[in-house]
Amino acid sequence: MLATGLMVAHGYITEGFMSWYSDDKFDIYMTLNRMFGPYAPAYWLLVLCNVLVPQAIWFKRIRTSVGWLFLIALLVNVGMWTERYVIVITSLHRDFLPSSWAIFHGTRWDWLTLLGSFGLFSTLFFLFLRVLPAISISEMRDLVHKKSESKA
């Protein structure tokens, strides 16, 4: 997670630099709109969750704690989903036509599609748990050990 957090930070920095270096006013506007526009809290949340939170792994006390690692993993997951949100929503927020510029609000169908995807994932996950037999590795070791003894 630490290495991936550093790679993601490099990607965000490169994205901002290339926007500035290209000197394209539309690209610069898009980058500044993401950073300081109406959806700026979502952008800075993704930077916090994807770049800053994983840097806590540098500390041994956090690196060796299962609870802290679990919390960091959850926050990184939130950051990754926030990144997709920022990409999609800021693209819908400022389209190529100024007549379609507006704050994006999800419709009923957008929210139902989101809930349906959660439901489909949960159903398939529970089916996977039901169909796949859970086999303990320690029990398998005992069986392999007994089988090798019976051959000898």
Section 98-119 average pLDDT: 88
At residue 121's C-alpha, the angle toward residues 108 and 125, to 5°, is 155
Q: Which of 30-34, 40-44, 98-102 has the lowest mean pLDDT?
A: 98-102
Q: Which amino acid is present at 47?
A: V
What DSSP character marks residue 66?
H
What does the alpha-carbon distance between residue 54 and residue 76 come to, in Å, rounded to a whole number? 7
Q: Rounded mean pLDDT of 36-51?
A: 94
pLDDT score recorded for residue 121: 95
**Nearest-10 Cα torsion for 62, 64, 70, 73:** 70
Nearest to 8 by CA among 74, 71, 54: 54
Q: Which of 51, 56, 57, 49 is nearest to 77 (CA)?
A: 49
pLDDT at 143 over 90: no
What pLDDT is recorded for position 61? 94
Q: Is pLDDT above 70 for 152?
A: no
DSSP 8-class letter at 135 = -
Q: Is pLDDT at 133 greater than 90 in this prediction?
A: no
pLDDT tens string 75-106: 999 999 999 999 888 888 887 777 878 888 88
DSSP class per residue in 8-61 = HHHHHHHHHHHHHHHT-HHHHHHHHHHHHSTTHHHHHHHHIIIIIGGGGGGSHH
Q: Is the pTM of this model over 0.85?
A: no
| 14 residue type, one letter | T
Mean pLDDT (whole number) for 111-123: 94
